[in-house]
Structure 1
């Protein structure tokens, strides 16, 4: 299919693969950026929570220590506690630890010059005996701090402990995680882009680089063609039946909906690409099948396109034409023979032997007329009479003795026949042809019986040949069989299969045996 593209250019991809991957990249980029931002916020929140827990633990530990209360009560709080708080602060990497009196007077501080000054911050909850945390801007800057009360042995609050971490220090901590978060985000984005590139390549191969509107148009045309084409079309792949159109369903009597490979006739269940003009006989049709492999660029086989043509009516017409041709050939031969006899009779008359000329002329005519009269009165069906007369003449030319038995008889009313005239010609004509081909060359004879009574129709053809075994006979009924070879076999081999088709359509029986010769019998019972 030729695609006409617009000369205008757009930054947005035109093909389905390009659009799908572009959307995928856009979504992935947004997800990675959002995830990275959430990771940064989560790191900051976790850092604040960890800092709050840390200062709360330090303040509580120092406040609960008996030595702290004792140092405050001794009046040497700064001397005793300043070294301790600085040592703890250094090891825990926090900003400050301040121990103070209930009136806010500092006993310790990170900056010794601030000792003796007033503590800046909230202390009222601690004076009530509560331990709490807050964010406050003190002498060192904004900080997260915890304040805990110091009690003496009697439970009286004698001082307060405040421990804090500067928010700038926390910011430095979680900002240090940015490179790791950025590296993970960029890695995820790179992997996603690589995966998107691989998906794009696969989609390009599968969609042939088509744009969405081109795929839609192709599908609409594909669907319209499948429903309008006059031939049956089936696409088979390794998993089963991929596509089947309406005509294929009709010709193969397939069920509605999804079709499985087991629903197909036996001759379509195997992989056989390259088959051309194969003729197959189903229960009610003669089909011509062609099979071609699907070239999808892969080495794996198993996909093929099957086209099916209905040859049923054509086959029937060819059968009738063949019967007429046989009759025409026999009439031509008889005309040639009649000319020879006429010359002989004229010569005998000129020789003065008139009596002998009359006897010679009437002998053959009486035999031929007797056969015509007997068949016309016994058989009645004009098409079958013409067939039998033609086959008799054809057999005589080939040196085969063809006999229509005396028990052959059909009802005078053709409407009472169990088979139509065309079906009679199909059954009897094909059986007689097969018999003449298969009879013994040393003793060639064929015997035909066509009889219908009140219960059944019987067509029996016997010949002097060896006959077929059960396996060969079954194969001939299913797919056609011919004793010929080469190009000649292509025009034969459907005879018995066509007979079997007619018999099955009327729920009759087709059998073969070897008794006084090779005998094939068709029996159709009256419904």
Structure 2
């Protein structure tokens, strides 16, 4: 028959249970060992006190002149027996024996032993020494002291022995056992109470998990932190509690401990509840989410600690996607403009055909030629002055888009761009495209116009976009470059234009400046 234990095996205990069991075992061993040592110490102290007591009594009686006089009077027993018994009774020792140098007793606790031979060591006393020893005599094992008795002329005329039996000493130190037991029980009780309190705290801290479960959880936790493709940061009341590898890469954080001062400005404050917020650093576009720890865990963890000030921050890299979206936006603008031009050209073609059918071919040719010349002149001029096809396509698309919105977009005659520019095609589309988009939204609706200039000299590439809008004051312009800014009422997903421009400019150690002169003018300068 298999007998099942009603308690789980030690390996199945929680970390708190195993730690407390070990602590209780150690406490019990220490307390019991301490109690045993206390008993041994009490016995040792009792023996030492007994030696001092009998030594003092024997020395006092041996040094008393009356003792030597009684030994030489011939009536030693009659004189000394009452005196020694009175001293023995008063001091509580077992015996006081006064004897001749040969060891013949004059006094004894048991009168029948008077006249008998003393049982014990006498040689040191005969040499004039006072000593103590443990010896088994007529009353049993005892601690005794022996002192010589000297006559006035210095002769040894007898000896005094005083002793306490081991049984009496045992009774003395055994009387301390109840006190020692009480202290032991109190110490065990306090220790167990403290262990119980520690166990409760450990259960809350470890959620009642076993050591193997904690190890597996740590291994999984460490593996996830190092392999997850999103940046993860945990913030608590003391600072940064945790940063994974991806977060260090995305934010350019140093190795080792990270403080709040190392984080970008948008992460230094306590701001839970942010969802899919776009943030721009010097070289990246990031999507940031922030939540309280209790919210992130769903509040379902065992022993929930309710850490209301702890935040979990997740970060996703959107840099490449943002660049692709910029290029797609430029292509979309070009596609829309081509669609609009196709529609417009269809209208003009119908007009030309109708004029031919009306018998007015000369006027039809003039209309078709004039429109073709205007459009072709812009295409030819941009193609000849700009050696970047993406930029040509962008300007043609933005010109058509501005024309649809009733805005006069002019590319100045100063626009010249060689092939060896410091920016890539994607970067120059990002910079100029966002500047023109901002100008399209910000120009004066009563007198809408935009002026674009792109040129490069021996020192720098200059991109200048002016519009008829009111412009921004320096503080607003600075904020727009750091965190994004939009004048639109539905700014969700907008407001990254200047921040993306600033990102490209900073990457190439350039400058971006805004001023209000003949209009709102934004100038980007990138050194070659």
Q: Given the two structures, how large is their TM-score scaled by the length of structure 1?
A: 0.94
The 2-side partners of 1:357 and 1:342 are apart by 9
- Residues 293 and 307 in structure 2, CA contact (< 8 A), matched pair in contact too: no
Equivalence for 1:433: 437
Cα offset for 1:241?
2.5
Equivalence for 1:228: 227
Cα offset for 1:11?
5.3
- 2:115 is paired with a residue of what secondary structure? coil
Equivalence for 2:414: 407
1:92–1:182 CA distance, 2 compared to 1 (3 A): same
State how 1:164-179 maps to structure 2 within 5 Å. Answer: 164-179=163-178
Give a deviation string over 1:372-408, Cα, whole Å, max 9, x none.
1111111121111111111111111111111111100
The 2-side partners of 1:348 and 1:11 are apart by 102
Cα offset for 1:8?
9.8
Cα RMSD (Å):
1.7
1:397 lines up with 2:401 in the alignment: no
Give a deviation string over 1:147-192, Cα, whole Å, max 9, x none.
1011011111111111111110100111111111111112111111
Greater Cα offset, 196-205 or 297-306: 297-306
State how 1:30-179 maps to structure 2 within 5 Å. Answer: 30-179=29-178
1:186–1:67 CA distance, 2 compared to 1 (3 A): same
- Residues 410 and 451 in structure 1, CA contact (< 8 A), matched pair in contact too: yes
The 2-side partners of 1:180 and 1:271 are apart by 58
Give a deviation string over 1:118-169, Cα, whole Å, max 9, x none.
3222222212211111112222222111010110111111111111111101
Please point out which of 327, 341, 344 is paired with 1:337: 344
Unpaired runs of 5+ residues, structure 2, are: 1-5, 295-300
Equivalence for 1:4: none
Equivalence for 2:495: 493
Equivalence for 2:183: 184
Equivalence for 1:463: 467
- Residues 13 and 22 in structure 1, CA contact (< 8 A), matched pair in contact too: no
Equivalence for 2:485: 481
The 1-side partners of 2:83 and 2:520 are apart by 124
- Residues 513 and 524 in structure 2, CA contact (< 8 A), matched pair in contact too: yes
Give a deviation string over 1:471-516, Cα, whole Å, max 9, x none.
111111111111112xx31221000000001001111111111111
The 2-side partners of 1:314 and 1:138 are apart by 105
The 2-side partners of 1:93 and 1:24 are apart by 46
Cα offset for 1:113?
3.2
Give a deviation string over 1:403-432, Cα, whole Å, max 9, x none.
111100111xx3x11111111100000001
State how 1:364-375 maps to structure 2 within 5 Å. Answer: 364-375=371-382
Cα offset for 1:49?
0.8
1:8–1:157 CA distance, 2 compared to 1 (3 A): closer
Equivalence for 1:356: 363
The 2-side partners of 1:175 and 1:182 are apart by 11
1:258 lines up with 2:262 in the alignment: no
- Residues 234 and 245 in structure 1, CA contact (< 8 A), matched pair in contact too: yes
Equivalence for 1:306: 313
- 1:493 is paired with a residue of what secondary structure? coil
The 2-side partners of 1:92 and 1:437 are apart by 114
The 1-side partners of 2:336 and 2:281 are apart by 32
- 2:145 is paired with a residue of what secondary structure? strand
State how 1:237-256 maps to structure 2 within 5 Å. Answer: 237-256=236-255
Give a deviation string over 1:176-232, Cα, whole Å, max 9, x none.
111111111121111111111111111111111211111111211111112211111
The 2-side partners of 1:37 and 1:388 are apart by 97
Cα offset for 1:102?
1.8
- Residues 125 and 131 in structure 1, CA contact (< 8 A), matched pair in contact too: yes
Cα offset for 1:290?
1.2
Give a deviation string over 1:24-59, Cα, whole Å, max 9, x none.
111111111111111111111110011011100110
The 1-side partners of 2:514 and 2:435 are apart by 11
- 1:490 is paired with a residue of what secondary structure? coil
The 2-side partners of 1:115 and 1:13 are apart by 74
Equivalence for 2:3: none
1:12–1:423 CA distance, 2 compared to 1 (3 A): closer
Unpaired runs of 5+ residues, structure 1, are: 1-6
The 2-side partners of 1:42 and 1:69 are apart by 39
Greater Cα offset, 402-411 or 242-251: 242-251
Give a deviation string over 1:58-110, Cα, whole Å, max 9, x none.
10011011111112222232232222222221221111111122232222222
- Residues 13 and 19 in structure 1, CA contact (< 8 A), matched pair in contact too: no
1:8–1:142 CA distance, 2 compared to 1 (3 A): closer
- 1:146 is paired with a residue of what secondary structure? strand
